[in-house]
Amino acid sequence: MRGKNLFQFAIVLVTLLTMAFGLNGQAYAQSVVSSATPSDTSPAIDEQITVAVNINMTGASGKLLGSYSASLAWNAAIFEYVSYAGGAAPFNTPTVNTSNTASGRITFSAAAPSGASGNINILTVTLRAKASGTSTFDLNYTAMAAAMTFENLLPYLTINDGSATVGNPNTAPYATNVSISGTTQVGQVLTGSYTYNDNDGDAEGTSTFRWLRNDAAIAGATSKTYTLVAADQGAMIKFEVTPVA
């Protein structure tokens, strides 16, 4: 009796696997993949990025993309809509509604009776980063069908939403404790010193210096040290630094 029970269990297991994968053994749950991919995931404020929307049909054996209706949403407080461009032929002239882009949403659709295979770009949206923070590029479909057969592809669809994080604007470094040391006599060397500061933690790069005589720049005096000359007698000498990260 125990052997009979095991045999029955094996039959049930095979039946379940056939239902899950189909008669040819192919799993259909993720055979169509659509992605919203930003060109830059960490733009600075005022930089523009593009978000490419693609439908990848390579996992849908024997099926061609025939039509779709979709929307892409983003955080309008972080990214500002700039423009869009149609995708690759035959989906290069989509119907696009930009009336809600100020609130962070664009809708688009297209149909191609002949269909297309492979990884198909269907739309590219250009956005400008206007404030710091993170935005998801939320891609949704209300319809997707195969060419010629009109088969509903939504049950086979997996969506990969992209995202991007806009950092706080970089602040310029600054100098404190600027001072001059040395003997104030003609022929003696003066040395300028300072403390470099950067609120973003950026290391000091090639900072620039200049020396001034009575508030006028001294020609050629662009290092941390300066040798006093006769023209400096009785003049006010200043050391100036422009910190560079």
Structure confidence at residue 26 (pLDDT)? 42
pLDDT (tens digit, 9 = 90+) per residue, 59-111? 998 899 999 999 999 999 999 999 999 999 999 999 999 999 999 999 999 99
Q: Quick one: pLDDT band at residue 171, thresholds 50, 70, 90?
A: confident
Q: Which of 146, 166, 186 is the last residue in one of the domains?
A: 166
Residue type, 197: N
**Quick check: bond before 90 cis, omega within 30?**
yes
Question: Does residue 10 form part of some domain?
Answer: no
Under DSSP, is residue 21 helix (H, G, I), strand (E, B) or coil?
Answer: helix
Q: Quick one: pLDDT band at residue 9, thresholds 50, 70, 90?
A: very low
Whether residues 69 and 151 fall in one domain? yes
Asked if the model's pLDDT at residue 6 lies above 70, the reply is no
Structural domain of residue 215, as residue ranges?
A: 174-242
* Percent over 90 (pLDDT), the chain: 84
Structure confidence at residue 11 (pLDDT)? 32
Question: Does residue 182 form part of some domain?
Answer: yes
Whether residues 45 and 161 fall in one domain? yes
Whether residues 188 and 158 fall in one domain? no
Structure confidence at residue 125 (pLDDT)? 99
- The chain-wide mean pLDDT, for the chain, equals 90
Whether residues 42 and 160 fall in one domain? yes
- CATH code, domain with 184: 2.60.40
Whether residues 74 and 131 fall in one domain? yes
CA distance 242 to 194: 10
Dihedral, 144, 145, 147, 151 alpha carbons, nearest 10 = 160
User: Which residues partner with 73 through β-bridges?
Assistant: 105, 138
Per-residue CA distances from 82 to 77, 125, 142, 155 (Å): 14, 8, 24, 33
Asked if the model's pLDDT at residue 15 lies above 80, the reply is no
pLDDT (tens digit, 9 = 90+) per residue, 109-162? 999 999 999 999 999 999 999 999 999 999 999 999 999 999 999 999 999 999
Structure tokens at 47: 């930089």
Asked if the model's pLDDT at residue 19 lies above 70, the reply is no
CA distance 80 to 98: 12
Task: Report the domain count for the chain.
Answer: 2
pTM recorded for the entire structure:
0.65
Q: Quick one: pLDDT band at residue 200, thresholds 50, 70, 90?
A: confident
Q: Which of 111, 137, 166 is the last residue in one of the domains?
A: 166
Whether residues 89 and 186 fall in one domain? no
Whether residues 183 and 135 fall in one domain? no
Structure confidence at residue 168 (pLDDT)? 83
CA distance 87 to 52: 9
Q: Which of 139, 166, 193 is the last residue in one of the domains?
A: 166
